[in-house]
Amino acid sequence: MTVLDLFRLDGRVALITGASRGLGQAMAVGLAEAGADIAGLDRTPDCNETCAQVEALGRRYLNLSIDLLSASKDDLARAVQDVVAGLGRVDILVNNAGIIRRAPALDYSEADWDDVININLRAVFFLSQAAGRAMAAQGGGKIINVASMLSFQGGILVPSYTASKSAIAGLTHALANEWAPLGINVNAIAPGYMATDNTAPIRADAVRSESILARIPAGDWGTPEDLKGAVVYLASDAARYVHGAILPVDGGWLGR
């Protein structure tokens, strides 16, 4: 076996939240390109563009239509059960889905706080719990959380998002500590400033966009495709001894 073989994901099944677009779509396609079958958890009821791309690669795609904002702990447990029933197992969980609500902290609403925390943190924990149980029963697996630059920094006008992503970093460490002995690797990717729907308001603000780009050593916004290599690595046997890591994919932002 060569080192490149360690990155192959043939015969494995990956569950990705928010897989229908943006970062989730790119990671789903990247995992499929490495050989994995994909279960995409989204609000979309039918096979979407991600589904079409995955199936064009000769991989299976299972669509799970669930709204994470209203999903209960039992709903998330059933989603994992549906993946096992439909695709045979669950080897990889990518907790990608997330929302952001912008407002000054002095004016921040209870609804905006609760919605962000529920999707970005509560759903992540209970889906990880359900997937972790399945993975422990089958002898191991990989859980990959999507953190943020705001797992390390405070940001402005996004108190609930910053709180949720800081908590994701802590949760990644906590679950890694408990589940490494079970053969489950828990790690996170921290994307930098990516050209996605979440950053559209910032990119549309010429002054703010210019100030951000001036601090990024790479000099440009990241793209969803920039996460493919990171997610395949953390999902693969090449990362066998990597536990509790938060991998920045940020164009050098944190090193500035």
Token representation of residue 232: 């395949």
Q: What percent of the chain has pLDDT over 70?
A: 100
- Cα radius of gyration (the chain): 17
The CB-side HSE value for 188 (13 A sphere, CA atoms) comes to 29
Q: Tell me the domain boundaries of the chain.
A: 3-255
CB count in 10 Å sphere of residue 230: 20
Contact criterion met (CB below 8 Å) for 116 and 161: yes
Catalytic residue among 61, 108, 161, 241: 161
Instruction: Report whether pLDDT(202) > 90.
Output: no
The CB-side HSE value for 19 (13 A sphere, CA atoms) comes to 35
Contact criterion met (CB below 8 Å) for 29 and 50: yes
The predicted model gives 231-241 an average pLDDT of 98
Q: Rounded to 5 degrees, what are φ and ψ at 154?
A: -90, -30
Strand partners of residue 64: 41
| Rounded CA separation 147/223 (Å) | 16
Instruction: Taking each helix axis as running N to C, give the angle between helix 123-138 and helix 73-87, from 0 to 180 degrees, rounded to the nearest 10.
Output: 40
Residues 6 or more apart whose CB falls under 8 angstroms from that of 110 comprise: none
The predicted model gives 76-93 an average pLDDT of 98
What is 3-255's CATH superfamily? NAD(P)-binding Rossmann-like Domain (3.40.50.720)
* Residues 19-45: tens digit of each pLDDT: 999 999 999 999 999 999 999 999 987
For the whole model, what pTM was predicted?
Answer: 0.97
| Rounded CA separation 130/185 (Å) | 15
Is 161 catalytic? The answer is yes
